[in-house]
Structure 1
Amino acid sequence: MDDTLVIGIDFGTTYSGVAAAYSLNPESPDELNIIKTWPGGNNTLDKVPSEVAYSGHHTAASTSRASDLKSNGKRKFKDFKEEPIKSNTPGQMRWGLQIKPDEYRLSYLKLFLDPNQKIPDHMNLSDHKHQLMACGKNVDTIVAEYLSALVAHTKVILGRRYTQEFVATTKLMFVLTVPAVWSDAAKDATLRAATAAGMGGSLAMISEPEAAAVYTLQAMQPNDLKIGHNFIVIDAGGGTVDLISYSIKQLKPLRIEELAKGSGGFCGAAFLNVGFEQFVRMKPGKTAFGAICTSKAKSWLMAMKYFEDYVKRNFNPDEDETFNIPFPGVEDNEKAGIEGGFLIMETADVQSIFQPIIADIILLVEGQINALQECDLKVNGLVLVGGFGQSECLLKALQTRFGNGGCGIEVLQPVNAWTAVVRGAVLRGLEGGEMVMNRKARRYYGVTYQTSFDPKIHPLSCKRWSKHSECWKAGSRMRWFIEKGQTVSSTEPILFDFHSDFDLDDKKVITETLIICDEDVAPLGLDHTTPVACKMVIDLNTVPKRYWKDRRTSSGIPFLRLSFTIGMQIESGGLRFDFRVGGVVHGKVNATFT
């Protein structure tokens, strides 16, 4: 690898991390340069909150961020109605640890990058959406500003180690992580935000569980990993939990392949905060709790922070412990368990908060195990990483269910579980190439086509007249080039063959629509409910004349026909396209995701 400073960025739902390494002096996995100092922080932290605040941005919203995560039914982000709201013009942005404890902050920004994401019952981000509108900025812009601040700070910190001149003159390569279960549109939105933040010079993306696998399999030394061993990476973060199953195909260099379609859900550590608020709300009653949040807002924020920083990070269900959570200034309330300025919680109380979230994670793991067992594949291990992956409570629950007390599967919690993803991103950048040989398609991908109309097969609604073929065609038929669950190569593209007809004076630019389907059985025809992945625009004017075929209609009207191919590659961080004529790549495809 050339003289390059590789910078990995794990942009998380609740926290973000940065790591770096110099290509000509690559350190071992445990010695990567992890950014630990952040603006506004007095302590050294492996990650920084993924939050921003703007001066002049006022809100009447509840001071509780956990309350932003509840709702009465399943919805999608895009279902929230946008209404204009008045606000002052926002001023300087503060981010991460710069934000004051009692200051309203915009959180969970990452989730808004996937507007079609299904959200569970306990989430309600409508207040955050209104706050985004109050800022006068869309989420893409705010994410770009956050990432820009992250990059600028990273350069300053790296300058202290390598000198500012070295950082300014050395090639920088950024490796950005994204959830594996995200839509292609969300991955593209992340890519655009990262480019706007200044990472566009040399930028690669990798899925979070794949990055975790890169680090974990190299960091677990010594180990008894063998070719043919199958394992499931569980990337348990703040908002989402991603799972992917891999099989080891080669050890030196390490090569793996996906065994089953990845899965995931909203059952990260942030929802423990939701459970904590619900627990506290039940104690004095809804009205009394509302009064506390209004009159003692800072006290509630202090209680939430203590639960976040200490209780949920250190909770061990095997230890009988009483937690005294600071609640200063709040009157004693025996029923609510508030005494002497502290909220008293017993081990069983905290366990009741963890239990439903862990139950959701166990269901996800069971789904991956079942998918492998249906293929007669044995699971040799579970690898637990991410911020929530450090939890002793989660580890023991998985060991009880799947370990010696359950299925006999070894549960591994590697060192540096919280930063495993960002460490793996750097290692991926240093090594280059693909570690994952084959992947499993998470959905169907296809395009529409026309065929001869047959009234016995096709509905009248798809009947179209073709002026060049001068016959009736059945339009909006679907040709699925990639099927859900299909094994696809990481290095070889899937080829879509087309031919297009043009009048002599037509502009030789075409637009093809890439259609997706997440259902188990894909439709034969396109309708208004079939989702679109992206619009692919291809300029054919550069194609040499020898590839164009002269044609005439039966009435003698001349036209041109071109046969060409679109190549689509499913990469770890998204989709990549090109177009080919005569088996030769002739250019890029401009894809606009929806």
Structure 2
Amino acid sequence: MSSRSPYSGSRSTLAIAIDVGTTYSGASYTLLVPGEIPRIYDVTGFKGQENRESNTKVPSVLLYSNSGELVACGAETKKLGPKRGIRTEWLVVHKFNLSSTELFSRRRRFKLELRPPSLRIDTPKVDLPPDRTVVDVFGDFLKYMYDCVRDHIINTHVDGNQRWSSLHGKAHFVLRMREAAIGGGLIPDTPEGHERVEFVTEGEASFHWCIDQAIAGAALKEGTNIVVADLGGGTVDVSSFLVKATKPLRLQEQMAPECALAGSITVTDRFVKAISERLQGTPYDESDYIETLREEFDEEAKCLFREDGEPETYIRIGGRRDNFEGENGLCKIEFGLLEVQREDIMHAFEPSVDATAKAIQKHIAGRRDTHIFLVGGFAASPWMLSEIRRRLKAAGIKSEVKRADSNTAKAVAHGAVAFYLDRNVTERKMRYTYGVSLEPSYNPSDPEHKARRRTLYTDQISGMQYVKSGFFALVNKGQLVKVDNVYRKRFYSEPSRKPELTTWSQSIERYNGTRANVTFKDVDPSAFEPIGWFRCDIPASAMTQQTGPRGAFYEVEYDVVITLGTVEIKAHVEWEEGGVKKKTPANSIWEDYY
């Protein structure tokens, strides 16, 4: 359990964490008052489910009109009860008459469109509302969650209205996407507004929740390894940390986080797809029946499936008058209940169980004294827990798999606030290599340069020769990086005949290939990807005179500087002007799971 010191700041602060999950979302916050010990509050009583005060999660659903107007969010969408459901692979669209003329669409699972490129899924593109991007939809939902936080603070704190009025304009956020926060009106699109947003991975937020809520202090001894698997609606995220010190608590990331598209909804999708194929050609091969089957399986049968269950499971697909038996008894329906064999549900779970167990094994390999925790809504599944335990035991892993007793469904939001307060992780492993493109001066004694003589070119002003397609790695994959470590590379501007304003742009690039010590991009060109650009104007007064094969020329020496160690990369440019160091504002680049 976490033991915090009183807040040492000079003014009160509000910090809000919003976790937009694939199926459900949650929010937590802390009110920091000078001299008081911080406390984390979880938002309950979301709009549309106010009578469920203990519920800390709300469906990640939005309802739009066909003209693109936002009608409702979260549980409020259920009040408008769809008459007919149309299923697509990653999107449920409900169309119905509200005023006898207006059609509406319910958007779910929009978060999957924000997944990083490394998470590939073979699904149709989400059909977004007119003139709305996925970032717009995300922003709309953030605005809804923000309003829920506001209502909770105002309604549950004695001086809630006064606190909200004085603090919300400068609130700090721990979120997923800065652009969506701007679009949702949470922050202004200014440098000061941007600074109010911080990022944290789901795995690290879940880990901080475990420290705050689930792990006994005695278990947090120096040298202990802790693995946390966040089993969510869309993804399974596995992180591992080593306890480096206990007072204060300091943690070192052991491996880059693993993320697999193996969450709860993938089980539902596999099950419904298999059963739908059996129902083809029957009276029950219609969207109404399939959507009923999906909802019943998702909300009950999947959640209750366990190791010692019955051979058959009965899932509602129709009304009490619905009775049917297909060929070979494969589609047996009695009184609206579809008979499903145990093996059918096991097969739907299998890829998710396998992906989770393998990710945990990867993080545990070669490590002793390890604690394993499952968190997230999907961790409540009895089958997932028993199967992961069985597979890890069969693999010779003696560490016990624990599932926290308290509510883990929205551990991410609570843990994100704990992350903001405690900053326990001081070192992280790089998942990729990051660097910059460059064209190095030709060195005839360098074998790599000699092998690329065909790419040589001569600058017309300086007369110097350069090699194309170079790459300089600022940090390498697998490298252990301390929080806020700074890395830099010196560059020179293009030669000029006279001092003049230099406009310069540079990209930060990610290399996700398998080669080590890459110095030229042509060895694996498809593995390089720009993740962010920044641009700056350097005045003529910063230029210095140099001499080359073709005489005098002018150039600027400048450094590309990146700051790493958090889940966000910050980059800027530095140069000297008249003996005074100058620099551009920092550009922030959010790299999911780096």
TM-score (norm 1): 0.81
Tell me, in whole angstroms, the C-alpha distance in 1 between the residues paired with 2:575 and 2:138: 39
- Superimposed CA distance per residue, residues 357-390 of structure 1 (whole angstroms, 9 cap, x where no aligned partner): 21121122222233xx2xxx33612121112122
Q: Which amino acid aligns with 1:448?
A: S
The alignment of Structure 1 onto Structure 2 pairs a total of residues equal to 527
Tell me, in whole angstroms, the C-alpha distance in 2 between the residues paired with 1:401 and 1:317: 13
Deviation at 1:136, TM superposition (A): 2.4
Partner of 1:509: 503
Partner of 2:124: 125
Q: Secondary structure at the match of 2:16?
A: strand
1:275 aligns with 2:270: yes
Tell me, in whole angstroms, the C-alpha distance in 1 between the residues paired with 2:306 and 2:469: 57
Tell me, in whole angstroms, the C-alpha distance in 2 between the residues paired with 1:441 and 1:198: 33
1:27-426 equivalence runs, <5 A:
32-39=41-48, 43-44=52-53, 45-56=55-66, 89-99=67-77, 100-101=81-82, 102=85, 103=94, 104-114=105-115, 116-120=117-121, 123-126=122-125, 128=126, 131-132=127-128, 135-162=130-157, 163-171=160-168, 172-178=170-176, 190-200=177-187, 201=193, 202-219=196-213, 220-284=215-279, 286-288=280-282, 292-294=284-286, 297-320=287-310, 323-329=313-319, 331-334=322-325, 335=329, 336-370=331-365, 373=366, 377-378=367-368, 380-403=370-393, 406-414=396-404, 415-426=406-417
Deviation at 1:452, TM superposition (A): 0.7
Tell me, in whole angstroms, the C-alpha distance in 2 between the residues paired with 1:461 and 1:280: 59
The change in CA–CA distance for 1:173 and 1:125 in structure 2 (over 3 A counts) is farther
Partner of 2:102: none
Partner of 1:16: 25
Partner of 1:573: 567
Larger relative contact order, structure 1 or 2 (CA cutoff 8 Å, min sep 6)? 1
Q: Which amino acid aligns with 2:24?
A: Y
Q: Which amino acid aligns with 2:305?
A: F
Whether the 8 Å CA contact 2:199–2:568 is kept in 1: the answer is: yes
Unaligned runs of 5+ in 1: 57-88, 179-189
Q: Which amino acid aligns with 1:441?
A: M
The change in CA–CA distance for 1:555 and 1:274 in structure 2 (over 3 A counts) is closer
Partner of 1:494: 487
Tell me, in whole angstroms, the C-alpha distance in 1 between the residues paired with 2:258 and 2:182: 28
Tell me, in whole angstroms, the C-alpha distance in 2 between the residues paired with 1:592 and 1:486: 19
The change in CA–CA distance for 1:322 and 1:584 in structure 2 (over 3 A counts) is farther
TM-score (norm 2): 0.81
Q: Which amino acid aligns with 1:350?
A: I
Calculate percent identity across the aligned residue pairs.
21
Q: Secondary structure at the match of 2:263?
A: coil
Q: Secondary structure at the match of 2:485?
A: coil
Q: Which amino acid aligns with 1:515?
A: E
Partner of 1:540: 538
Whether the 8 Å CA contact 2:462–2:547 is kept in 1: the answer is: no
- Superimposed CA distance per residue, residues 23-52 of structure 1 (whole angstroms, 9 cap, x where no aligned partner): 2355656xx233342336764532122222
Whether the 8 Å CA contact 2:562–2:570 is kept in 1: the answer is: yes
- Superimposed CA distance per residue, residues 138-191 of structure 1 (whole angstroms, 9 cap, x where no aligned partner): 11111111211221232122211233332121255343355xxxxxxxxxxx22
Q: Secondary structure at the match of 2:254?
A: strand
The change in CA–CA distance for 1:518 and 1:405 in structure 2 (over 3 A counts) is closer
Unaligned runs of 5+ in 2: 1-8, 86-93, 95-104, 188-192
Whether the 8 Å CA contact 1:399–1:405 is kept in 2: the answer is: no
- Superimposed CA distance per residue, residues 440-466 of structure 1 (whole angstroms, 9 cap, x where no aligned partner): 111111112222164972334522222
The change in CA–CA distance for 1:461 and 1:554 in structure 2 (over 3 A counts) is closer
The change in CA–CA distance for 1:589 and 1:462 in structure 2 (over 3 A counts) is farther
Deviation at 1:498, TM superposition (A): 2.0
1:429-448 equivalence runs, <5 A:
429-431=420-422, 434-448=423-437
